[in-house]
């Protein structure tokens, strides 16, 4: 098995796995248990999709179509992810930084609130 896709979360990994399987490629989505080890905070970059070595090029072509919004399914084009603002996208480092700043701010605010009570 060879890694062909690193997903932002396990849901996205399952979507890509289903997409590959619907195109006749046996795929494995991994990272379920690694996400639970982080606790209640949603973790990123643990989920992935793997396929057999002989299916790698076909799988990557399908994934490229999926990522660029060019994938044709029953006559309908999948929505493009380019309309999502970059700061909110889980695939960008800016989005991750923004997420961490928000979490840290909430934790600091909660500590100040508890200390003043």
Domains in the chain, CATH or no CATH each: 2-83 (3.30.70), 84-117 (no CATH)
Report pLDDT for 34: 63
SS3 state at 80: coil
For the entire predicted model, the pTM comes to 0.56
Q: How confident is the model at residue 87 (pLDDT cuts 50, 70, 90)?
A: very low
b/e per residue 86-112 (b: at least 16 CB within 10 A):
eeeeebeeebeeebeeeeeeeeeeeee
pLDDT at 92 over 80: no
pLDDT at 68 over 90: no
Q: How confident is the model over 7-17, as pLDDT tens digits?
A: 888 888 888 99
Report pLDDT for 42: 54
Q: How confident is the model over 24-42, as pLDDT tens digits?
A: 999 999 877 665 555 555 5
């Amino acid at each position: 098995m060879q890694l062909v896709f690193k997903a932002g979360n396990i849901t996205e990994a399952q979507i890509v796995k289903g997409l590959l399987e619907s195109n006749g490629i046996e795929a494995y989505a991994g990272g379920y248990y690694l996400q639970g080890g982080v606790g209640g905070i949603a973790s990123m970059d643990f989920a992935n999709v793997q396929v057999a070595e002989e299916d790698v090029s076909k799988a990557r072509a399908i994934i490229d179509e999926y990522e660029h919004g060019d994938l044709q399914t029953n006559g309908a084009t999948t929505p493009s992810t380019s309309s999502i603002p970059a700061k909110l996208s889980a695939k960008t480092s800016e989005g991750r930084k923004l997420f961490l700043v928000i979490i840290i701010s909430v934790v600091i605010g909660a500590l100040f609130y508890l200390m003043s009570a």
